[in-house]
Structure 1
C-alpha cells in the first residue's frame, strides 16, 4: 500500500526565552536560529524545513511574545509572532515549564478555530518536582483548547521525536513544497548577520544587546575565501564605547567568535571586518525600522 505524502506549515510561538530556537535547531540537526539565555534573541520570522520519509514539516520560527516593552522594535516583534499564528496548519505553543498565564489562553483561543494548536511544555529536565507535571497537563487539558500536550526538553533532546510524531498526525495530505535537501529559506548573508548579533549578545550586558542591529555591507567569494564587511549599529555614543571595549578588545573578541563559527558553518576561510556606528534611537523609530531590516512585508 502506497503511503500518502504529508506537508504543512507549523509555527513555533510562545514567550521570550521559552526555548523555541533551541528546539528548532535540534529538530533540524543544524543551527539556523541563534540562541541565548537572554530574552528577545530572535527578531525575525524564517523557515526551517524537515523532510523525513513521506512527511515534510515547514517550521516557522518567530520572536517571542513579550509585554511591558513599548518600543517600536518590540511592537514589530509582537506583530511578527502574532501574524505567524495565522494561515498555518499547526501552532506549537511553547512554554517554559509551567509558565502559563491568562494572556497565553487568550492567544490560543483566538486561533483555535483556524489551526491545530499543540502545547509544548519545554525544559522539563529543569523541573524541581516532576510529580507536578501530570497535574499541570490535566489542568490545561480541561480547557479543551489544545489538540495535544507534549512535554519535552529541547536542550536535552527529551521526547522531541514524540513531538514530531504528534505534529505529523495533524499535517494535511499533499505534495512536499520544498526539495528534500533544503533545510531553510534564509540566505548565508542573513545567517551571517544573525551569527554576529549572537556573539554581540553573548559578550555584552543585559541592556545593550537590544539596542544593536547588524548590517552586512559586503559578502563576496574570491579564490575560496569569503570576504565579509559588517556594521554593528548602536543607539548612543556611550554604547559604541561599550561595544568596542578597552583598546578594541571586545569588538575584536566578537569578530573572532563570529569568524570561527562562520568558517565552521560555511566550510571555508572567512575574512571578517566589523565597524561600529551610531544610529540614534533606531529601535523606537518606526520609520527607521525597515531600513534596519525589520519590515512586516519581508
Structure 2
C-alpha cells in the first residue's frame, strides 16, 4: 500500500473554541523518535507522533494539534490508529504535510535478493510471506503495479494453457484436435485435462455459423488475467466475452455438474463453445486449489488427475448443438 498526501491528511475536530492554542509535532525522516518533536528536533516516524498525542490532548484540551510531516517516504508496518483520548476534547487534531513538501506514507516493503533463472525469469524467497506472517495485496516494480502470483489457483500456474473456439452445426459431434505442437510433445508436454465453455452472442455473430478460421477460431497461447478471473491474449485483451465463464466451468469437477452448467448457459442464449485444454509437463508442478499438483482432487470420490486413473474425458464436454 502506497499513499501520497498533499497538504491536508486528516483532521479530527472536537468542540474547538474560536481562539485555540496551536501545538505542533514535527516528523522528518532525519529525526529521532526520542527527540522533542519540534521543528529543530523532529520525530522520525508517524507512530512516534501518535504515541505522544494522548499526553498532549490531556495537557492541552483546548489546543489545535498539528502533526506536520516533512518531505520523505515513511514506511509503516501497522496502520495509524487514532483513539478518542488522543484528540483534544475542545480542540482538533490534524495530520498534514509541511507546505510545499511531498510526503508518502507507505505500507509496502522493499523485496531484495532477486535471482535470474535459466528461463530469464526472476524469483525471490520471502519466508515471512510463505509462512503466512506477511500478506500483501499489491506488487510494484519501479513504481508500477505488477501482477502477483496468486495462491491457491484454480489451475496449475506453470501449465501450458491453450484455447480455441469452434462454432457448431446442428449435427456437429467433432472434437477439436490436440493443440500441442510437435516441439511441445518432444519437450514432454501432455494434455492434463480438457474443458469447454460457452462464450457470448458477440462471438457468435463474429463467426456466424461457419467453421472457417477467424479471429477467435484459432489456437492461442493465453495468459491468466491480473484478477485471475479470465484469460487474456498476447495484447492483454480478455479472450472470453463472458469473463468468468472459464473459471466457472473449471470449478465443475464432474461431467454431470458441467453439463448442468452448460445447459444453464444455453438457456441464456450462449451457443458458441470455447474449448480449453491445459497441458502438463513433469517437473512443472505447483500447488493449486484442488490439492497437490497436478489437479489432484481433495475428494477421492471425484478424482480429476489422469495419473490416478481418471480420463480427461471427465472434463471433455463434446461439442454439440445446444440451441
TM category, shorter: under 0.3
Higher helix share goes to which structure? Answer: 1
TM-score relative to the length of structure 1: 0.21
Larger radius of gyration: 2
TM-score relative to the length of structure 2: 0.20
